């Protein structure tokens, strides 16, 4: 009788060991939280250090950019655009990898819960049968045939225990993979935050055929611009936040439409240029898709910066005699003058960041009491105004004053030609 009894006792010990392993497995996830906290703290430290460096760069170097030549600025911008393209290319592959890892994470978690529940039920069943066998041993084995039957049951139970042990080890391996996946996801999130800090672009949502981006645009208030436009102080924000909604065609990732919120600037021409770029580079689908999206976002950010700077300069040029209005879509400033006359001024590319001069393109009478402007008179005014020196024509305030002065002189000359001739 001692042999069956010792076998059952050994089986009960194996059950206890197995239950202990399941309890350890259930505690693995709880113990992993400490590692997650340490990873999160490390990411926060990296983020803080990055923000500190960006603030230092903003305070130490941005003020010196005005002293650089245009060639130096173009070289710096070219290098930054090259590095930015490389980072965004890596970001595309990282985003695909994140999506795949997230999908596998969810599937593996579900499978792990199911298998652990099966193992728990199986162990409870084996334990209940072993308890019955133990009670039968204490009462006594009635015959040798009963002993052989118990021995057969013990072998079956031992086989199931081995199978359960194998499943538990496999689940531990799966759980370790999930922990590694969680660590990779946190690393990818840190990379995304760093890219956002450098580019000012963040993917907010991808739903159906719509991609929603958050844009943070820095406004370049260079000291040279402020000096040339006679602006003494800055009261406008140096950063502007927008959302860009991009609509794509099904399964083709081809640009269909784009909207910006708030809708304070025109981007239709940028969208058309981006579509034309895609058609030109249609032979290189992946490179074209990445480049067309990059082209759209970069040009929109450039438009935000330039339009905001122009509005800032125009607002500070208003005075009691002249009021200026910036027309973003036409790249034009309208100077509303006393007497019901509007002067239409064409903005050169890059103004006021560039040194190119403004150009008067038309005059229009807006008051019913004012006289219509003849073609010959208009041509004469245009020739005189656009012959002014480049410094005068670059500053919107002085240019507007000069237009008004020349216009008044010529109008008085037409009204009193004899007095003008005698002088």
Same-domain status, 220 and 276: yes
* Count of C-beta atoms within a 10 Å radius of residue 347: 21
Same-domain status, 98 and 75: yes
Same-domain status, 399 and 325: yes
Give the DSSP per-residue string, 284-337.
Answer: SHHHHHHHHHHHHHHHHHHHHHHHHHHHHHHHHH--SS-EEEEETTTTEEEEEE
Same-domain status, 224 and 144: no
Instruction: Select the more confidently predicted residue: 136 or 96.
Output: 96
Taking the C-alpha atoms of residue 411 and residue 136, their distance in angstroms, rounded to an integer, is 124
Phi, then psi, of 211 in degrees rounded to 5: -120, 125
Look at residue 208 and tell me if it is in a domain.
Answer: yes
Same-domain status, 146 and 285: no
Largest alpha-carbon pair distance within the chain?
147
> Could you give the number of structural domains in the chain?
3
Same-domain status, 232 and 334: no
Q: What is the mean pLDDT of residues 23-32?
A: 50
Look at residue 313 and tell me if it is in a domain.
Answer: no
Last residue of a domain, one of 304, 332, 363: 304
Predicted TM-score of the model (pTM): 0.55
Q: What is the mean pLDDT of residues 84-88?
A: 71
Look at residue 51 and tell me if it is in a domain.
Answer: no
Of the pLDDT bands very low, low, confident and very high (cuts 50, 70, 90), residue 360 is: very high
User: What sign does the CA torsion over 306, 310, 311, 312 have?
Assistant: positive
Last residue of a domain, one of 191, 222, 248: 191
Alpha helices in 62-199 (DSSP H): 70-139, 144-199
Same-domain status, 180 and 236: no
Within 8 A by CB and 6+ apart from 131, the residues are none
Same-domain status, 8 and 139: yes
Distances (CA, A) of 249 to 106, 284, 367: 29, 17, 49
Last residue of a domain, one of 304, 333, 368: 304
Look at residue 150 and tell me if it is in a domain.
Answer: yes
Taking the C-alpha atoms of residue 243 and residue 228, their distance in angstroms, rounded to an integer, is 32
Same-domain status, 290 and 153: no
Look at residue 127 and tell me if it is in a domain.
Answer: yes
Look at residue 55 and tell me if it is in a domain.
Answer: no
pLDDT higher than threshold 50 for residue 403:
yes
Same-domain status, 180 and 219: no
What domain range is 169 assigned to?
A: 2-43+70-191
pLDDT the model gives residue 218:
83
pLDDT higher than threshold 50 for residue 321:
yes
Look at residue 370 and tell me if it is in a domain.
Answer: yes
Query: Cα 170 from chain centroid?
Result: 40
Of the pLDDT bands very low, low, confident and very high (cuts 50, 70, 90), residue 404 is: very high
Look at residue 64 and tell me if it is in a domain.
Answer: no
Same-domain status, 154 and 27: yes
């Amino acid at each position: 009788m001692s042999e069956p009894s010792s076998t059952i006792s050994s089986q009960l010990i194996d059950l206890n060991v197995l239950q202990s392993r399941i309890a350890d497995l259930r505690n693995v996830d709880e113990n992993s939280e400490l590692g997650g906290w340490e990873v999160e703290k490390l990411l926060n430290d990296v983020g803080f250090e990055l923000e500190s460096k960006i603030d230092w760069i903003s305070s130490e170097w941005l003020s010196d950019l005005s002293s650089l030549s245009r060639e130096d600025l173009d070289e710096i911008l070219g290098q930054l655009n090259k590095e930015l393209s490389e980072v965004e290319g890596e970001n595309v592959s990282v985003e695909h990898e994140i999506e795949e890892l997230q999908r596998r994470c969810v599937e593996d978690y579900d499978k792990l819960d199911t298998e652990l529940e099966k193992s728990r039920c199986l162990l409870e069943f084996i334990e209940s049968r072993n308890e019955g066998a133990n009670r039968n041993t204490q009462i006594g084995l009635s015959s040798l045939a009963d002993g052989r039957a118990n021995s057969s049951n013990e072998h079956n139970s031992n086989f199931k225990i081995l199978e359960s042990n194998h499943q538990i080890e496999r689940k531990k391996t799966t759980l370790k993979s999930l922990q590694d996946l969680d660590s990779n996801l946190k690393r990818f999130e840190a990379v995304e935050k760093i890219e956002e800090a450098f580019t000012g672009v963040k993917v907010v949502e991808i739903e159906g055929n719509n991609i929603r981006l958050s844009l943070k645009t820095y406004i370049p208030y260079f000291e040279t611009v402020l000096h040339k436009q006679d602006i003494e102080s800055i009261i406008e924000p140096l950063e502007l936040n927008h959302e860009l909604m991009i609509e794509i065609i099904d399964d083709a990732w081809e640009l269909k439409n784009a909207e910006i919120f708030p809708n304070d600037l025109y981007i239709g021409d940028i969208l058309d240029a981006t579509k034309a770029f895609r058609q030109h580079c249609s032979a290189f689908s992946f490179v074209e898709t990445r480049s067309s999206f990059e082209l759209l976002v970069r040009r929109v950010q450039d438009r935000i910066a330039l339009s905001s700077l122009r509005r800032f300069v125009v607002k500070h040029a208003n005075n009691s005699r002249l009021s200026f209005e910036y027309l973003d879509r036409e790249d034009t400033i309208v100077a509303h003058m006393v007497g019901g006359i509007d002067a239409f001024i064409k903005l050169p590319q890059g103004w006021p960041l560039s040194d190119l001069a403004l150009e008067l393109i038309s005059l229009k009478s807006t008051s019913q009491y004012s006289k219509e402007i003849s073609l010959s008179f208009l041509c004469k005014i245009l020739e005189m105004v656009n012959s002014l020196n480049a410094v005068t024509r670059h500053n919107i305030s002085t240019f507007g004053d000069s237009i008004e002065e020349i216009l008044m002189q010529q109008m008085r000359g037409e009204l009193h030609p004899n007095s003008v001739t005698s002088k």
